[in-house]
Amino acid sequence: MGIELIVDKYKNELPGYALMGYGEVGFPQYKCRLQCLMLKDKRLPVVDEYVLRLYKEDVIPEDMGALLGVDQDLVETSWINLIHLGLIHAETKWITEKGYFYLRENKIDSHEKIFIDITVDALSGQIKKHRNFINRTSIKEHSLDVLSPMVPYPSENNLRVSQLKKIMSEYKAIDPENYTGSLLDIIEVDNKPTQYKRLNILIFSNSIGDLRFIVCDDSQRYEEYEKVLVSLEESGVAVLNYGIGQYFNENNLDYIDEILSDDSKPTLSLLEIRDNSLDLIRGCSEKLYISLPLVKIKTVDDFVINLLEKKLKENVNVFVLTSGREFVNTHQKNQYEKIIKLKKKYKNLIIDNTPKFQVSTLIADDKGIVSYLRKHDLNLPTSKFGITEAGMLLEPKQIGSCVKEIFTVSKYNQHLITKQELTNKLKKIVQLVTEADDYILNKNNIGWIGGQSIPDIQRLLESPVATSENNFKVFISTIHISLGESLENNGKAHGNNKYFWNYFKQTFPVLQKVLHKIRVYRHSTEHLSLEPQAKERYFEFLDDDLGGSIPLLKENGYHILQTKIVNELEEALETLLVSNK
């Protein structure tokens, strides 16, 4: 069941409370295999057995609870049982002949070792019989957020025999032949990789700001987690990561304000937004416009992608516009790469990106729907706001203006470098760098490459045209290693660790900026999300080169970046050498 159905099912679960946020999260589950000691062929319950044997060894009942690691009440109950069975005399408190006979006939070393697989809930500490959940690989594939554990990893020191009684009874019911006798001790705990229970969290608030959580899946509600989430918030952990980036700060949402000015227009729920959107796509016969902000909740799923391909096969013209400066996570990027693959097959598909967030819009022929995110203040220790989504159907008269307002493609009328031009320019850049090295070496005795050869020069000259992300990765990595990294390493070899950032930047600012751009672009191909300072520079460079758009989602995006980098580097080197002749 998707989040839309979950929200629809539970949205009115708490009278007097309004829904303020929701999301899907992985709840950690420890998986472990226990090697246990089982007592075979005996008549007494395990605690009764040990109380009798310890008493024979002159251990007083008052000390047995701590010694056995059980509640003292259990010891007292066992004492009463032993008296009732005639193994201990009620008045003298001596072990009876019957008791000694039992001890002689039932040796404590009549035991065997068995293995038991259990699951320990890492939030509540509850122990259950083994069950498989989502592994870490699947979590990464879907970029699912996970909660932090609240209890330590299971060990011989923190697991108690008494905690496993229910688990043992469940195993005995399934396989009585192999799970006979009573559990005596836990010999070893073998922890396996942590798995995750995939559940939904809904946050509610009433009129005075009191908060309530609902944790659920499509079949049940898990009330045992609701207080645990409060504890997580108090420990500084936000229970939900909405993945909205700068949606409320860097946006172009004026159009939705115009639509919302009509107070009579009904608001659609999350489920209604989904159902209406799918119906519009299915019914489209000519033109389909889709605008999606790069926020987590609007990540396009496989069902919609397959539906888009169906429409493309039917010769429907499809325009997919994304808004935002970066992908929320790897899963979102992977989903858009699937759409990009469709573009290679179908000429009737347009994909574009704009840096400022837009409203989510879907227009199919003469019908349309828009939706937007709402931000709600929360009275929680860590999470200060919640996010929900609302939407509305467009009136026929709004369709034309919506298309004109939102769906415009920014074209770059720039010559794109060819393979031969790229090779020729790289050869020229190699020659210019060698000349620049001589000039700088005479100037400061350090130079660019210190009079040495440019590293990986052949690989640089064989760089491919950046017609894809992978080709751009090869190009940008190679040119950085050959020209940027070699410059920094040369400075360090001369004892100047800040050579690139201090001397080179002050003396050759234009050239240093191009090399810095190469460095930042290279980092962007290796990491989905950059550190704040690097991200700021990355966005600045993209503003200059692509109007702030994501190159993967822009027509010829990486090819444009490559062309500009090569031209700028060549020009900066020529300017440096000409001005210093």
pLDDT recorded at residue 447: 93
Residue 92 and residue 82 in contact, taking contact as beta carbons nearer than 8 Å:
no
pLDDT recorded at residue 130: 86
CA 51 from centre of chain: 51
- Sign of the four-CA dihedral 27, 28, 33, 37: negative
- From 68, 92, 109, the end of a domain falls on 109
Nearest partner of 516 among 484, 543, 560, judged by Cα: 484
**309, 226: one domain:** no
What is the tally of structural domains in the chain? 4
Nearest partner of 535 among 521, 545, 546, 556, judged by Cα: 521
Q: CATH number, domain at 368? A: 3.30.870.10
Q: Is residue 242 part of a domain?
A: no
Distances (CA, A) of 429 to 300, 439, 581: 43, 15, 18
**457, 400: one domain:** no
Q: Is residue 150 part of a domain?
A: yes
**399, 444: one domain:** no
pLDDT recorded at residue 262: 58
In the block, tokens 């100047």 appear at 496
Q: Is residue 497 part of a domain?
A: yes
pTM summary value: 0.81
**456, 575: one domain:** yes
**399, 513: one domain:** no
- From 204, 234, 264, the end of a domain falls on 234
pLDDT recorded at residue 260: 66
pLDDT recorded at residue 167: 85
**552, 447: one domain:** yes
- Sign of the four-CA dihedral 540, 543, 548, 553: negative
**224, 98: one domain:** no
**457, 352: one domain:** no
pLDDT recorded at residue 66: 86
pLDDT tens readout for residues 198-235: 999 999 999 998 999 999 998 899 999 999 999 999 99
The C-alpha atoms of residue 575 and residue 365 are separated, in whole angstroms, by: 53
The C-alpha atoms of residue 131 and residue 128 are separated, in whole angstroms, by: 8
**485, 399: one domain:** no
Q: Is residue 248 part of a domain?
A: no
Distances (CA, A) of 432 to 25, 258, 436, 448, 451: 54, 56, 6, 11, 13
Q: Is residue 348 part of a domain?
A: yes
In the block, tokens 């609240």 appear at 150
- From 52, 78, 109, the end of a domain falls on 109
**225, 258: one domain:** no
Q: pLDDT digit of tens for each residue in the chain (581 aa)?
A: 589 999 999 999 999 999 999 999 999 999 999 988 877 655 678 788 889 988 988 889 898 888 888 889 999 999 999 999 999 998 889 999 998 988 887 766 556 788 889 999 999 988 988 889 999 999 988 889 999 999 999 998 888 777 787 888 888 888 877 777 777 788 899 999 999 999 999 999 999 989 999 999 988 999 999 999 999 999 999 999 999 989 888 887 776 677 666 554 668 999 999 999 999 999 999 999 999 999 999 999 999 999 999 999 999 999 999 999 999 999 999 999 999 999 999 999 999 999 999 989 999 999 999 999 999 999 888 999 999 998 999 988 888 888 888 888 777 778 999 999 999 999 999 999 999 999 999 999 999 999 999 999 999 999 999 999 999 999 999 999 999 999 999 999 999 999 999 999 999 999 999 999 999 999 999 988 888 999 999 999 999 999 999 999 999 999 999 999 999 999 999 999 988 76
Q: Is residue 191 part of a domain?
A: yes
**118, 101: one domain:** no
Domain residue limits at 20: 3-32+113-234
Q: Is residue 240 part of a domain?
A: no
**468, 396: one domain:** no
pLDDT recorded at residue 180: 73
